[in-house]
């Protein structure tokens, strides 16, 4: 649950990050920037802001905005129908992103999820993305990410995006955001 | 044919456009920015500069740079093997792009190809892209584009890119660039 006021505040903040990154949006895109709290009600800790440029049957492009130290919780993109699942490339445009994927566990992670949800995080191989750096994730790869203290803007290039099929490891997560109107 | 000196000059100019658009490249990407004259030897009139971010079996992302009034000649992306052909979305980041596709012919085109190659251009439906505007082209769609007087930077989001399969309507065009070393 997120209040309408908080939703609008975070939208406004996110648009500032987009603007600082030199990215031009149409008015319609700016108005429709999406804020998600993954149903956890702690959007500044665990949440994500998105602008979907296009999403066809074959490919998709988005800009993602992360507020300072905001975590996008661990999830994966499973096969859907005849598709092997979503492949995605994250390209950092601004700020720093700590991305965690399966592989040798980093000894001292530079990002940590909220302590009370940590049990649901299994990917601990750390990839650090600074502006210009990118990383490609194959389907079915558990991953999560958090921005550094300055927040971040990340371009995502992928195959068709079907958020409703994403599998989150935290059982309390839902991708449908409830906005409290009053 | 393009001289090594011209290639390097245009590369340097193109990197300035990328920088002005607020886009950060890695050193490797900047060093490998590609200049193509389509084999016509008149690169400032008919040419294109590209940075390929990623190109997997399933999707691809690039930045394109156009010098002022530079034309990317008419071509299409045909089916290749089991693929129906490349689908691509152009998103203007900086400057103005005049994109021509099949459809009702514009009366007074805001861009024209060089007079001596004009006979090879059949797509005359005009789409004007300013920063934030985008347009998606389905496979097998003849198209060409030219930037306005300020040059342009365009992001391309697409399915797998196989430039070697592109079909250009101008029979003198070749996608392999010959660089004169001396």
CATH number at residue A136: 2.60.120.10
For the ranges A2-6, A173-177, B2-6, B31-35, the lowest mean pLDDT is seen at A173-177
Evaluate whether A70 touches A47 at the Cβ level (below 8 Å). yes
* Residues of A whose CB is below 8 A from B134: 53-54
For the cut 70, the answer to whether the pLDDT of residue B142 exceeds it is yes
Range of weakest confidence among A68-77, A78-87, A91-100, A115-124: A78-87
- pLDDT (tens digit per residue) in A18-39: 999 999 999 999 999 999 999 9
- Domain hosting B37: range is 2-180
- Which residues are within 8 A (CB) of A14 and not within 5 positions of it... i.e. 6 or more apart? A33, A35, A49, A65, A67
Query: Distance (Å) from the C-alpha of residue B44 to the closest C-alpha of chain A?
Result: 27
Mean pLDDT of B31-57: 97
> If residue B159 lies in a helix (H) or strand (E), which one and from where to where?
none
- CA geometry: angle A74, A79, A80, nearest 5 deg: 110
Beta bridge mates, B100: B126, B144
pLDDT of residue B182: 60
pLDDT digit string (tens) for B75-121?
Answer: 999 999 888 999 999 999 999 999 999 999 999 999 999 999 999 99
Distance of alpha carbon B78 from alpha carbon B85, whole angstroms? 5
pLDDT at A116: 97
Question: Tokens at residue B103, please?
Answer: 């459809």
**Residue A87: closest C-alpha in chain B:** B58
pLDDT of residue A182 exceeding 70: no
Inspect the interface and report whether the beta carbons of B159 and A58 lie closer than 8 Å: yes
Q: Is the ipTM of this complex over 0.85?
A: yes
- Three-state SS for A99-134 is EEECCCCCCCCCCCCCHHHHHHCCCCEEEEECCCCE
A26/B53 Cβ within 8 A: no
Confidence (pTM):
0.96
Strands B71-76 and B60-66: unpaired
Mean pLDDT to the nearest integer, B37-53: 97
Q: Do B134 and A54 touch (CB under 8 A)?
A: yes
* Inter-chain CB proximity A53 and B21 less than 8 Å: no
Per-residue pLDDT tens digits for A109-161 = 999 999 999 999 999 999 999 999 999 999 999 999 999 999 999 999 999 99
Taking the CA of residue B131 and the nearest CA in chain A, the distance in Å comes to: 6
Q: For residue B9, what are the contacts with CB-CB under 8 A and spacing of at least 6?
A: none
CB A121 within 8 A of CB A100: yes
Looking at residue B163, its pLDDT comes to: 87
């Amino acid at each position: 649950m997120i209040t309408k006021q908080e939703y609008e505040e975070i939208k406004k903040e996110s648009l500032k990050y987009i603007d600082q990154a030199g990215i031009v949006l149409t008015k319609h895109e700016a108005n429709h920037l999406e804020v998600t709290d993954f149903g956890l009600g702690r959007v500044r800790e665990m949440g994500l802001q998105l602008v979907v440029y296009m999403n066809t049957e074959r490919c998709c492009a988005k800009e993602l905005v992360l507020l300072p130290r905001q975590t996008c919780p661990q999830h994966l993109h499973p096969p859907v129908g005849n598709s092997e699942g979503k492949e995605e490339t994250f390209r950092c445009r601004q700020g720093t992103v700590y991305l965690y994927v399966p592989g040798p566990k980093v000894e001292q992670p530079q990002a940590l999820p909220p302590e009370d949800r940590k049990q649901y995080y299994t990917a601990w191989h750390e990839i650090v993305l600074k502006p210009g750096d990118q990383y490609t994730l194959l389907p079915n790869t558990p991953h999560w990410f958090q921005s550094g203290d300055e927040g971040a803007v990340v371009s995502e290039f992928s195959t068709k995006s079907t958020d409703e099929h994403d599998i989150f490891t935290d059982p309390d997560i839902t991708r449908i955001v409830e906005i409290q109107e009053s």
